[in-house]
Amino acid sequence: MDIEKYIAGKKKVIDKALDRCLPSEKEKPKSIHRAMRYAVFSGGKRIRPVMTIASFEACGGKGASIMPVACAIELIHTYTLIHDDLPCMDNDDYRRGRPSCHKKFSEELALLAGDALLTMGFQLLSDAGNLNILKDISMAIGSRGTIGGQVVDMEEAKKKKRDLDYIAAKKTGALFEVALKAGCMFKGAGKREIDAISDFGKHIGFTFQLIDDLIDKDGYVKVYGKEHVRKMAELLNKRAKSHLSIFGNKANMLSGIADLILERRS
Per-residue pLDDT for 156 more than 90? no
Tell me the C-alpha to C-alpha distance, in Å, between residue 229 and each of 159, 193, 201.
21, 29, 19
The answer to whether the CB of 139 falls within 8 A of the CB of 198 is no
Give buried/exposed letters for 33-69 (b at 16+ CB in 10 A, else e): bbbbbbbbebebebbbbbbbbbbbbbbebeeeebbbb
Q: Percent of the chain at pLDDT above 70?
A: 98
The answer to whether the CB of 170 falls within 8 A of the CB of 205 is no
* The pLDDT of residue 162: 76
Report the candidate in 8, 62, 58 with the shortest Cα–Cα distance to residue 245: 58
Structural domains in the chain, sorted by start:
3-263 (1.10.600.10)
Supply φ then ψ for residue 89, to 5 degrees: -115, -105
Q: What is the DSSP letter of 248?
A: G
The whole-angstrom separation of Cα 91 and Cα 99 is: 12
In single-letter form, the type of residue at position 111 comes to L
* The pLDDT of residue 1: 67
The whole-angstrom separation of Cα 261 and Cα 98 is: 22
Q: Determine the 3-state secondary structure of 91 from DSSP.
A: coil
* The pLDDT of residue 4: 94
- Averaged pLDDT for residues 150-164: 81
- Averaged pLDDT for residues 242-255: 97
Write down the pTM of the prediction: 0.95
The whole-angstrom separation of Cα 233 and Cα 254 is: 17
- Averaged pLDDT for residues 78-88: 97
Beta-ladder partners of 99: 94
Q: What is the DSSP letter of 26?
A: T
Per-residue pLDDT for 217 more than 70? yes
The answer to whether the CB of 128 falls within 8 A of the CB of 186 is yes
What digits encode the pLDDT tens for the residues 26-76?
999 999 999 999 999 998 899 999 999 999 999 999 999 999 999 999 999
Per-residue pLDDT for 157 more than 80? no
* The pLDDT of residue 160: 59
The answer to whether the CB of 54 falls within 8 A of the CB of 183 is yes
* The pLDDT of residue 215: 95
Per-residue pLDDT for 263 more than 70? yes
* The pLDDT of residue 154: 87
The whole-angstrom separation of Cα 100 and Cα 42 is: 9
Tell me the C-alpha to C-alpha distance, in Å, between residue 233 and each of 4, 19, 172.
21, 35, 14
Q: What is the DSSP letter of 135?
A: H
The whole-angstrom separation of Cα 30 and Cα 185 is: 36
Residue 158 banded pLDDT, cuts 50, 70, 90: low
| Average predicted confidence (pLDDT) for the chain | 95
What digits encode the pLDDT tens for the residues 187-209?
999 999 999 999 999 999 999 99
Per-residue pLDDT for 144 more than 90? yes
What are the helix and strand counts (H, E) for the chain? 14, 2
Other CB atoms within 10 A of residue 184 CB = 27
Q: Percent of the chain at pLDDT above 90?
A: 92
